[in-house]
A and B are shown apart, each in its own frame.
Chain A
Amino acid sequence: MSEAEETQVKRRQYIASLRSRILAAFIIGAVLFALLMSSISYFTVRHFLITERQATVLRQAFTDAALMRSSINQGDASIRDQISAFDEVDGVHAFLLVGQKRYRSNPSASLSTIPLAMRKLVRQGNAATQTFLVKGEPTLGVGLRIASAQASFFISFSVADIARTLRALLLALIGVSVLLISGAAFAGLRAARRAVRPLAQVGEAASAIASGDLSARLAHSDDRDLAALTDSFNAMASELETRIVRDAAFNSNVAHELRSPLTTLSATVEILQGSSEQLSSEGREALELLSGDLNRFRKLIADLLELAADDERSGIRLEAVNAAQLVRKASEANLQQLDAELVIAEDLNERMMLADKRRVERIFANLIGNASSHADGLLSIEAKCLGDDFMEIAFIDRGPAIALQDRARIFDRFYRGSASGRRADSQGSGLGLALVSEHVAVHGGSVRLSIDARGGNCFTVMLPLEGVLPS
């Protein structure tokens, strides 16, 4: 993996996907909106309810204070009567301080529930209101100075009902917020999906094109933003298709134009070879050179066109064949003059595979040919099952081992290796091993080079197998 690829992978781990980012934006927006709207509603209602109640309570307190003033003038018994009347109202406690005397609406009520600061303010002649807790209940207290009687009057009202109302409101607001946020999450999910859908379609179309369907296009979009994307994508695909079709036509023309004169050449050289005994010795030598290089040229053209066909994945004819038989036939077709051992594991006899027979034969021809032109010939071909799904065929030659610096590039096109490993009589096009690699790839297999324990090179071809032979 290159450095650039590594950073890209790293970055991909840190950046969330487009879809989750859209979703997150929707949810964060909904949370902020719900928080803001709920706070505004809650505090407005709370403020309204409390001021309203304060105004009512204050009015009531002034009236009560006026009644208390007249009771004070009528004496002790009248005060007691008046103040105990408050006991009949739920959640209301009243206190009257006249000089050192204290009166309270009922015996359970305690003056200590009225905050000291408030008592001090009232004693100084002020009217005061304050909210405080009495036994955990929110309570609104009012204190008034009855100046004419040197008395302080306190009355406290429980506001638990307001607290209850506010609590209910809070619950309702939380419920609404939760609904709102889930709604936003749902909408976000849909929006994200919709936003990504065109991208997914682009991805599908691009991979269709990559796998050879040059006619794949995106449907035209009415959305202006998307139209720019789809139109330019389609334009690119059309341009690509035109170029590929033009290239293919060019290849086919080149093929034809090269093959026709080659046909003439090889036919005439054959005629000359048939009557070579009539030629002088120089003429025969020249003819040998000519026919040798003509063969090489024919092979080069054939290899180039095969590589082009593999690149286009064209003309691949996979058929179900018996794996062991294919290996045997491909070996026999190429092993005639070579003193090599052929070992086919028995478990391959029952196995089928999808193969392009001609390409497999070329794989064998090129690897066997490579062993005789770049090494001291082939030692053995060993085929066996590799797990359930693969066949492994090892082509082991007699060495010398291919130099380390050549091994990595040995499957490259036109790579011929360093001079030391090369034979003077090499007839190779420099494409043989590249073709092996391409033909193997066409079958969904792989090929690798290693050093055999006996010192030679070992080319290991892996090809996928199919099910068991139908009986």
Chain B
Amino acid sequence: MLATPLLAPIDPRLTLASLIGEDGAMATVLLVEDDPRIRSAIALALEREGYATVGAVSGEEGIAKIGKVPIDIALVDLTLPGMDGLQACAEIRAISSIPIIIVTARQESDDVVAGLEAGADDYVTKPFVVKELAARIRALLRRAVSSAPDRHHLGELTLIPAEGALRHADGSEVHCTFTEFRLLSELVAHRGEVLSREHLLEHVWGYDYFGDSRIVDVHIRRLRTKVEPDAANPELIITVRGMGYKLEGP
């Protein structure tokens, strides 16, 4: 479960709705990056791509901004002075469901998995092309596919796509990030089928076949802690060796 929020959680769907609204209002990207030159350059380039940006030089400042300004997505550099990027991710995740993209210098390192475990939704490797970053942001801000308005029962939980919510039998809501919700919706849409990691990467994150499947694995692990009665012995989201994942039928 999430820790008691330091700040009142902002309902992320409000800002998301404003983003995807008919008027096409700009989404706001929080840039947590200590190097002012990189921050300015990325801010300029992202603004050209149609995003508003809010800069923060440290994790602490970034978290403070989330409380004050409407933010749709956060870009967090892993090497920060003071509170490091991993900790910043974990704290942002504790108060908000917004997508987080981490920026790492080494794709090969364990930083990526550590960042995903800390709550990040995706990562980019320096030096990245801003067009690619913009594509990643667009993919993470897509609304969950909610073609079917009906309710889906997942053990004790109920997924209500129309509300974008996952609820306990007693009506209380299980907190999911956007990405977790989209991942769960994708599994529900293909209930009983085995979905390959590549399929999930493409449909949830917008990657091609060569995306990093660690992203899927970490998210599935996290989702299990929320929907499975016993995450160590999953009964709903099953791993099919060498093939992918499957949501058990009703």
A residues bordering B, Cβ < 8 Å?
Answer: 252, 255-256, 259-268, 270-271, 274, 298, 301, 305, 309, 314-315, 317, 319-320, 325, 329-330, 333, 352, 357-358, 361, 470
Measured between beta carbons, the chain B residues less than 8 angstroms from A361 are 210
A317 to B127, CA, bound (A): 21
In contact, B127 and A266 (Cβ under 8 angstroms): yes
Closest residue of chain B to A466 (Cβ to Cβ) is: B242
Residues 203 to 241 of chain B near chain A (Cβ within 8 Å): 208-210, 212-214, 241
CB distance B45 to A267 under 8 Å? yes
Interface of B is mostly: loop
Instruction: Give bound CA distance, A314 to B109, whole Å.
Output: 8
Check if A270 sits within 8 Å of B127, measured CB to CB. Answer: no
Contact partners of B214 in chain A: CB under 8 A: 317
The smallest beta-carbon distance between A159 and chain B, in angstroms, is 89
Q: Check if A256 sits within 8 Å of B105, measured CB to CB.
A: yes
Extra contacts, 19 of them, besides A266-B130, A270-B130 (Cβ < 8 A), are A252-B109, A255-B105, A256-B105, A256-B106, A256-B126, A259-B126, A260-B105, A261-B37, A263-B42, A267-B44, A268-B41, A270-B45, A274-B48, A315-B108, A317-B213, A319-B213, A352-B242, A358-B210, A470-B241
B44, A255: Cβ atoms closer than 8 Å: no
Q: Please state if A309 and B35 are interface contacts (CB–CB under 8 Å).
A: no
Question: In the complex, how many angstroms separate the beta carbon of B193 from the nearest chain A beta carbon?
Answer: 16
User: Taking the nearest CB of chain B, how far is it from the CB of A465, in angstroms?
Assistant: 13
- Distance A470 CA – B37 CA, assembled complex (angstroms): 52
Q: Smallest Cβ distance from B174 to chain A, in angstroms?
A: 30
| Shortest distance between the CB of B221 and any CB in chain A (Å) | 16
B44, B79, B127, B242: the one within 8 Å of A262 (CB): B127
Chain B residues, Cβ within 8 Å of A325: 209
Partner of B38, one of A263, A270, A301, A320: A263
Tell me if B131 is interfacial: C-beta within 8 Å of chain A. Answer: yes
Specify which of A256, A315, A333, A357 is in contact with B107 (CB 8 Å cutoff): A315
Q: A330 contacts which chain B residues (CB < 8 A)?
A: 210
- Let me know if A270 and B37 touch, CB within 8 A: no
Contacting A at CB under 8 A, from B142-182, are: none
The answer to whether residues A271 and B45 also contact, given A256-B105, A358-B210 and a CB cut-off of 8 A, is: yes
Please give, as numbers and ranges, the residues of chain A lying within 8 Å of B129 by CB-CB distance.
266, 270
Chain B residue at smallest Cβ distance from A297: B127
B108's partner among A262, A309, A319 (CB-CB below 8 A) is A309
Across the interface, do A333 and B209 meet the contact criterion of CB distance under 8 Å?
Answer: yes
> B243 within 8 Å of A by Cβ?
yes
Checking B35, B106, B107, B130 against A260 with a beta-carbon cut-off of 8 angstroms, the contacting residue is B35
In the complex, A325→B208 CA distance in Å?
13
Say yes or no: B127 contacts A259, CB within 8 Å: yes
Residues in A with CB closer than 8 Å to B241 are 320, 470
Show 19 residue pairs from A and B whose CB-CB distance is below 8 angstroms, ordered by the A residue: A252-B106, A256-B79, A256-B106, A259-B105, A261-B37, A263-B38, A263-B128, A266-B129, A266-B130, A267-B42, A267-B44, A267-B130, A270-B129, A270-B131, A301-B127, A317-B214, A329-B209, A333-B210, A470-B241
**Distance to closest chain B CB from A304 (angstroms):** 13
Residues of B within 8 A of A329 (CB): 208-210
Residue of B nearest to A263 (CB): B127
Bound-state Cα–Cα, A361 to B198, Å: 14
A309: chain B residues at CB < 8 Å are 108
Q: How far is the CA of A333 from the CA of B207 in the complex (A)?
A: 12
Closest B residue, CB atoms, query A362: B210
Task: Report A253 CB to chain B, min CB distance, Å.
Answer: 9
Cα A320 to Cα B243 in complex, Å, equals 8
